[in-house]
Chains A and B, each alone.
Chain A
Amino acid sequence: MKKLLLGNAAVAQGAYEAGVHFVSSYPGTPSTEITECMAAYPANEVYVEWAPNEKVAAEAVVGAAIAGGRAMSCCKHVGLNVMADPIFTDSYIGVNGGAVFCVADDPGMHSSQNEQDSRHYARAAKMPMLEPSDSAECKEYTKLAFDLSEQFDTPVFIRLSTRVSHSQSLVEIGQRKNRDVKPYEKNIKKNVMMPANAIARHVVVEQRTDELKKYSETTALNTVENNGSKIGVITAGISYQYAKEALGGNVNYLKLGMVYPLPEKLLKDFAASCDEVYVIEELDPFIEDICRSLGIDVKGKECFTMLGEYTPSMIASAVLGKAPAEFDKPDEIVPARPPVLCPGCPHRGTFFVLKKLGLTVSGDIGCYTLGAVAPLASVDTTICMGASISAAHGMAKVRGREFNNKLVSVIGDSTFMHSGITALSDIVYNKGCNTIIILDNSITGMTGHQDNPTTGKTIRGEATKQVDLIKLCEALGVEHIAVADPFDVKNFEKVVKEEVARDDVSVIIAQRPCALLKTVKYTGHCEINTEKCRKCKLCMKLGCPAISVDGEGTVRIDKTQCNGCGLCVSVCPFGAIEKQD
């Protein structure tokens, strides 16, 4: 039976069919749905969990594989940075049951803070990497990855990109092959990575790479399509699909399904059979550089950009000199529509207050990064998960007390659990005086509502123990902890003022659930009483998508956008906004 599946769902189906026992991941666009789909398979067949961060998830997978299970972890490209430590050493240890690490890059940065190319990790960690180009390959390559992992005693990477992860195409659905967890045997030389043992394992890793290179020469993952042309194209992943559409039968293809290690002889032979060879790959010149190091004369980044996504027309123009299709354009500038905090978002109350108080805001990653968008424009910095706390520590130490008394960190509940705890302990330990606001909206919001250790539910929706943020902060040594509702704007402002002025570290837990949670039931909508409205436009400072001003300065609330959360009602100094049921 064939089914229309997202690339991510197809990876999950592949892992399922391969008999995977254990999946642990931390969410991250565009990889999130793989693990969500895994949780739709029966619990007695696959154990699935959200881990607090990628490093923990990867270590759990390493352990599960050492213990004899087939195991997988999935993350976005920046998640791989967090995973890197265990993975580089797991490469030395190898596996018992197969281990697969699936990483999704985001060319074009649809939902990311950078555009890094994960293929460099395969080379650096000396691990094989497969790269599918559509959903059918997502399934097949994932199954194969588990086999390769066990055959070559190595963890294996699968690399996806946004357009592979989030495109649907047809996939043949197969049966699961149930397999027993392999026996566990204690093996100190292989599994205890201290210098004497690691020195010996490094030798094995280099031999393994040589073996994998031989495999790459003959595997069906790497295919030549000879169309009798003088032009050759070497490509992989989604770029292959773009090239196929753009160039059709006008060129010969070497499609690489295994992007590390590369088949050196196959590359040389393919290049020798053509007069002109292009390497077509989004982001960095990874294949191109290896071709050049082998002495192969290729055209690459001088014809194509390192920035963003490719398109078929871009490729047709670079290789065949073909003009792109004609099109019409609007005769004026069309206003952009950047993402915004949703109507009813609890973060809006927080940023309204922080902006009003003119504080420096050390920001983090989550829906609340949108606190940097006008008119709130409150956030000063966003770096990576957890950095709101640690970066503020650096700022405070360098700029001193006066600066610190106007500085706060904002961090979501999921992000705090991911990597905020260690940063907070740094501040307490090193006598900092920062104020940290934990934006507790009871969910991992940005990536589409995943549970985390603070929500009291597992990925399968079962009740579980719940981290108590107050006790956690107390245990770290924080003596001043306040809980406040960001929609009670007056009180929230008072609490923030008190805590930032304090010459000691303090934590404010801003507690109000995400407006999109099913348990949150705002009703009705708000309306402006035009008699009472003095057109002061204070409500406009909330940056609520439902509130706007017309040409005459009259404020209006769009009923189809408003969910009746009432934040504007509490902000209006003239009582001119009224809640309607």
Chain B
Amino acid sequence: MSKTSTNIMIVGVGGQGTLLASRILGNAVILAGHDVKVSEVHGMSQRGGSVVTYVKYGEAVHSPIIDKGEADIILAFERLEAYRALPWLKKGGKIIVNDQKINPMPVITGAMEYPEGIIEKLSEKADVTALDALSLAEKAGSIKAVNVVLIGVMAKNTDIEHDKWIETVKSTVPPKFLDINIKAFELGYNYNP
């Protein structure tokens, strides 16, 4: 397989704001001079279902999707979704996970149980950074900025420079919320596990 790209998978629950995260990432990558493809999910699963976005960048990117075992980084907005995405992680890859729990309907109806100790189980198999991104977002000024906090954490794990990220956040988020989002990005970027 012609393996030239860096592969990042963003997973979460429909409505959590994963699309904005992938747009910031996509635009930062372009600013850094890479070719890029971003594959998004619209439609039905945006109604509270599992959502997956792939971002691939490098010299030349062909397929917009990431195969199992090929993601360098998984950025998860929710614990269970991080667990579900594990098969996509490359051996030795990194998982960044927002330590939030959102019950899916089969758990709510009692048909299944929400697995215990997901973070510990993931840590046995991968390099995991787990954080309470919701409180960091709150600290930045709005829990809605949780996606930008997570992008900040991920940014630290790429070879793209800090300036490029800030420039992208500035050009992607609405001016009204710029201060909050810059704060949110910095809180994520400087997060120390």
Contacts and interface: CB of A to CB of B under 8 A. Distances in A.
Given A328-B125, A335-B80, A316 B1 contact: yes
Contacts of B105: 337-338, 340, 373-375, 543, 545
Nearest to B71: A327
A316 B70 CA distance: 14
A244 B46 CA distance: 30
B36 A4 contact: yes
Contacts of B42: 29-30, 32-33, 111, 166, 448
Contacts of B37: 134, 167-169
A110 B109 contact: no
Nearest to B37: A169
Interface stretch (A318-326, A393-401, A409-417, A495-503): A318-326
Contact of A342 (B15, B68, B84, B100): B15
Contacts of A327: 68-69, 86-91
A411 to B, nearest CB: 18
Interface string B26-46: 110010000111111111111
A182 B100 CA distance: 59
A168 B40 contact: yes
Contact of B35 (A30, A170, A341): A170
Contacts of B193: none
A27 B88 CA distance: 32
Contacts of B17: none
Contacts of A339: 14, 44-49
B109 A311 contact: no
Contacts of A336: 50, 104, 106
Contacts of A313: 1, 67-68, 70
A465 interface: no
A447 interface: yes
Nearest to B101: A558
A32 B105 CA distance: 28
Contacts of A311: 63, 65, 67
A548 interface: yes
Interface in B68-117: 68-70, 80-81, 83-84, 86-91, 100, 102-115
A336 B83 CA distance: 11
Given A169-B36, A170-B35, A328 B86 contact: yes
A106 B106 CA distance: 26
Interface centre among A169, A248, A367, A540 (most CB of B within 10 A): A169
A330 B134 CA distance: 25
Contacts of B70: 313, 325
Contacts of B111: 374
B2 interface: yes
B141 interface: no
Contacts of A340: 47-49, 105
Contacts of A558: 102-103
A549 B111 CA distance: 12
Given A316-B1, A335-B115, A338-B105, 8 more contacts: A4-B38, A29-B42, A168-B39, A245-B63, A328-B91, A447-B43, A543-B108, A543-B109
Interface of B: 1-2, 13-15, 26-27, 30, 35-50, 61-65, 67-70, 80-81, 83-84, 86-91, 100, 102-115, 121, 125-126, 134, 143
Interface of A: 2, 4, 6, 29-30, 32-33, 110-111, 134, 163, 166-170, 238, 241-242, 244-246, 248-249, 309, 311-313, 316, 322, 324-342, 367, 370, 373-375, 446-448, 540, 543, 545, 547-549, 558, 560-561
16 contacts: A29-B44, A166-B41, A168-B37, A170-B36, A324-B67, A329-B86, A330-B84, A334-B84, A335-B106, A335-B107, A337-B49, A339-B45, A339-B47, A446-B44, A446-B47, A448-B46
